[in-house]
A and B are shown apart, each in its own frame.
Chain A
Amino acid sequence: MTHSLQDMRQQAAVAAKVFVQRDYTSGTMCQFQTKFPSELETKIDKQQFEETIRTLNNLYAEAEKLGSQSFIEGCLACLTAYTVFLCMETHYEKVLKKIAKYIQEQNDKIYAPRGLLLTDPIERGLRVIEITIYEDRSFTR
């Protein structure tokens, strides 16, 4: 967390929380709905929001992709009785790190200045993207 975000958390009070739910139309793959929540209408640009969600969706799709690389990794893991999972970082975990970095970057650049905070979905069991709306009090625009 950057210094400014910490300050904001300590000074500002939580006005509301918005939850972006999962989108199951393509199956059990991790995707989130791009529908723009009404509570955010006054806070952020619709395009900006959809861009963030779409990028996150692409990243999650990349994590779960069934490509040749994951196939080779899977076969190798099977041959070693899956003990490689104990020593190596899996492909999914690598992408999760990328996602965490992306979310922090988005928070710093776009959401924090508008009094919003995105919570990494992994902290909510990949069920929702929690967006906290802070009261418009203690920081200048």
Chain B
Amino acid sequence: MKSREYQQIDPQALPTPVRTPPHDHPQADGGDGRKEPRRTPRRKWEVFPGKNRFFCDGRIMMARQSGVFPLTLGLILVTSGLFFIFDCPFLVKHLTGCIPAIGGVLFVFVLVTLLQTSFTDPGILPRATPEEAADVERQIDDTGNTSYRPPPRTKEVLINQQVIKLKYCFTCKMFRPPRTSHCSLCDNCVERFDHHCPWVGNCVGKRNYRFFYTFIVSLSFLTAFIFGCVTTHLALRAQGGKGLVFALKESPGSAVELAICFFSVWSILGLSGFHTYLVASNLTTNEDIKGSWSGKSGEGVTNPYSHKNIFINCCSVLCAPMPPSLIDRRGLVPAEESAQTGGMDTERPKLNNKSEMNVVGGSLHLVFDVQESCSDFSLLLNHTKTVPLPARSLVACYSPNTVSVCFPVSECCVKVTPLCAVFQLLSKVCIDHAFYWVWLVESIKHSCLYVFIRHISWKGTVCLLIK
């Protein structure tokens, strides 16, 4: 996202600033798939603000960091492969032909549920539209303080005669429904958030919890089954006084399987047991860890979502109707939006008389303009935090509406190429309750400084030329 974009800047042409040409990431990276202004409408997954990766034109999604998912997949495939190659022929001959059949069924189950857990939308809540966010803010009593981050807002609701506090999510700009949590790794609010599983490379939430549960249960069966079979196999081979070492020499793959299964079966069984308990009491890992209903905070605090019946709890978690995905990945972005933002990025900036620069005591105070069409750019307000500036920088700006902003700039030069040097790589600034990425790029060749400001939902960048 970062250094790649800077190299594309041609100071002379005054760019389409920061368009990532599609080189090594053909699958759009949560928004970077945008190219030069094009007439063809984009799909919504291309402009998705969270940190997710999409494949197959939006049909499959994962978290951006796949974690140890390849390792999980590899271990399962390797262990099962070795099992079918080394142990099955022997066991079929000496015991029964059911063994590979059972193993096969378990293996397929494990693989299918793993892929479903990793590739399904866990229950991501789309971010609030600007009008919705404004409406929510209007209803909240704003004390009008000038710090970057106003005090956390909460709303209380009564659920099954119990008071639950709903928190306001600053990133998604809405009050989180009960049991929803914001995953910082994926930068999304997820409904009935359980946990973010690195083994699976995705969050586990309302929509994929049943897949996850089936996965770990079938995996424990598979691991135990393979462990049992391998032990039987080695025991049979070692019969007649031949010894274990002989058996292992005859079937080296079994040694590997034995090791893997032995070390993993305990943790997987433990995890299955734990999640069975959670399912029976209709709890999430998140709530269990935080102790929300354990009565730490006082008497009379019970889980308001539990149906007080183990069977019904299990049904509601595992057999309830499958909720739909709320983020509509493959829908098309409405034409007005793409035209606006496309136009904004590609328009050649013109110098504006109203532009103004203040370098007051080493602070960067920008007065710059933003096009009306892009409604996300409600940048404003003089925040007075100041920091020393790099000596060579000056500020001027160009665009239609004038807004003024002051933000901290650090002096560290991060990357130098023949064309430019990068300062202050991607500082995240909160301006008027909205977050923007801000970064400076200096063109060494032309002795000018560019300031880029981009809304975190990747809706368009304002590029200011600083001479």
| A binding-site residues for B, Cβ under 8 Å | 17, 19, 22, 24-28, 63-66, 70-71, 73-75, 77-78, 81-83, 85, 90-93, 96, 122-128, 130
A82 & B116 in contact (Cβ 8 Å cutoff): yes
Which B283-325 residues have C-beta < 8 A from chain A? 304-305, 312, 315-316, 318-324
Q: Give Cα A1–Cα B113 distance, bound, in whole angstroms.
A: 39
Task: Tell whether B211 is near chain A: CB-to-CB under 8 Å.
Answer: yes
A-B pair count, CB < 8 Å, reads: 102
Q: Give Cα A93–Cα B325 distance, bound, in whole angstroms.
A: 10
Given A74-B315, A74-B318: A25 in contact with B210 (beta carbons within 8 A): no
Q: A19-B136, A70-B319 are in contact. List 8 more A-B contacts (CB 8 A).
A: A27-B305, A28-B178, A74-B320, A81-B108, A82-B210, A125-B125, A125-B327, A127-B174
B125 & A64 in contact (Cβ 8 Å cutoff): no
A22 & B315 in contact (Cβ 8 Å cutoff): no
B214 & A78 in contact (Cβ 8 Å cutoff): yes
B304 & A27 in contact (Cβ 8 Å cutoff): yes
Q: Which residue of A has the minimal Cβ distance to B116?
A: A82
Task: Tell whether B339 is near chain A: CB-to-CB under 8 Å.
Answer: no
A28 & B324 in contact (Cβ 8 Å cutoff): no
A63 & B321 in contact (Cβ 8 Å cutoff): yes
Return the CB mask of B229-261 against A: 1 if under 8 Å, else 0. Answer: 000000000000000000000000000000000
Give which listed residue, A66, A83, A127, contacts B316 with CB less than 8 A: A66
Task: Tell whether B414 is near chain A: CB-to-CB under 8 Å.
Answer: no
Write out the residue numbers on chain A whose beta carbons fall within 8 Å of the beta carbon of B174.
127
A125 & B178 in contact (Cβ 8 Å cutoff): no
B324 & A127 in contact (Cβ 8 Å cutoff): no
B321 & A81 in contact (Cβ 8 Å cutoff): no
Write out the residue numbers on chain A whose beta carbons fall within 8 Å of the beta carbon of B192.
28
B315 & A19 in contact (Cβ 8 Å cutoff): no
Task: Tell whether B24 is near chain A: CB-to-CB under 8 Å.
Answer: no
Write out the residue numbers on chain B whose beta carbons fall within 8 Å of the beta carbon of A123.
328
Write out the residue numbers on chain B whose beta carbons fall within 8 Å of the beta carbon of A122.
324, 326
Closest chain A CB from B156 CB (angstroms): 10
B321 & A28 in contact (Cβ 8 Å cutoff): no
Closest chain B CB from A111 CB (angstroms): 18
Write out the residue numbers on chain B whose beta carbons fall within 8 Å of the beta carbon of A66.
312, 315-316, 319-320
Task: Tell whether B179 is near chain A: CB-to-CB under 8 Å.
Answer: yes
Give which listed residue, B113, B126, B131, B159, contacts A26 with CB less than 8 A: B159
A81 & B159 in contact (Cβ 8 Å cutoff): no
Closest chain B CB from A69 CB (angstroms): 9
B178 & A124 in contact (Cβ 8 Å cutoff): no
Q: Give Cα A64–Cα B319 distance, bound, in whole angstroms.
A: 11
Task: Tell whether B157 is near chain A: CB-to-CB under 8 Å.
Answer: yes
A91 & B157 in contact (Cβ 8 Å cutoff): no
Write out the residue numbers on chain A whose beta carbons fall within 8 Å of the beta carbon of B304.
27
Given A19-B135, A64-B320, A82-B210: A27 in contact with B327 (beta carbons within 8 A): no
Q: Give Cα A4–Cα B75 distance, bound, in whole angstroms.
A: 60
Could you name 8 residue pairs across A and B whose Cβ atoms are closer than 8 Å?
A17-B135, A24-B164, A74-B319, A74-B321, A83-B112, A123-B328, A124-B126, A128-B132
Q: Give Cα A44–Cα B155 distance, bound, in whole angstroms.
A: 29
Return the CB mask of B141-180 against A: 1 if under 8 Å, else 0. Answer: 0000000000000000111100010100000001001110
Write out the residue numbers on chain A whose beta carbons fall within 8 Å of the beta carbon of B101.
none
Q: Give Cα A74–Cα B279 distance, bound, in whole angstroms.
A: 15
A28 & B315 in contact (Cβ 8 Å cutoff): no
Given A74-B318, A128-B132: A25 in contact with B158 (beta carbons within 8 A): yes
Write out the residue numbers on chain A whose beta carbons fall within 8 Å of the beta carbon of B158.
25
Write out the residue numbers on chain A whose beta carbons fall within 8 Å of the beta carbon of B305.
27-28
A24 & B320 in contact (Cβ 8 Å cutoff): no
Write out the residue numbers on chain A whose beta carbons fall within 8 Å of the beta carbon of B437.
none
Q: Give Cα A125–Cα B160 distance, bound, in whole angstroms.
A: 24
Closest chain A CB from B77 CB (angstroms): 17
A24 & B135 in contact (Cβ 8 Å cutoff): no
Q: Which residue of B has the minimal Cβ distance to A88?
A: B322
Task: Tell whether B128 is near chain A: CB-to-CB under 8 Å.
Answer: yes
Q: Which residue of A has the minimal Cβ distance to B305?
A: A27
Closest chain A CB from B136 CB (angstroms): 8
Which B324-347 residues have C-beta < 8 A from chain A? 324, 326-328
Closest chain A CB from B116 CB (angstroms): 6
Closest chain B CB from A37 CB (angstroms): 11
A27 & B159 in contact (Cβ 8 Å cutoff): yes
Q: Give Cα A117–Cα B192 distance, bound, in whole angstroms.
A: 31
Write out the residue numbers on chain B whose beta carbons fall within 8 Å of the beta carbon of A83.
112
Write out the residue numbers on chain B whose beta carbons fall within 8 Å of the beta carbon of A73.
319, 321
Closest chain B CB from A93 CB (angstroms): 6
B324 & A93 in contact (Cβ 8 Å cutoff): yes
Q: Give Cα A78–Cα B210 distance, bound, in whole angstroms.
A: 9
Closest chain B CB from A92 CB (angstroms): 4
Q: Give Cα A90–Cα B108 distance, bound, in whole angstroms.
A: 23
Closest chain B CB from A135 CB (angstroms): 16
A25 & B321 in contact (Cβ 8 Å cutoff): no
Q: Give Cα A107–Cα B286 distance, bound, in whole angstroms.
A: 41
Task: Tell whether B225 is near chain A: CB-to-CB under 8 Å.
Answer: no
B116 & A28 in contact (Cβ 8 Å cutoff): no
Given A24-B157, A70-B321, A128-B132: A81 in contact with B177 (beta carbons within 8 A): no
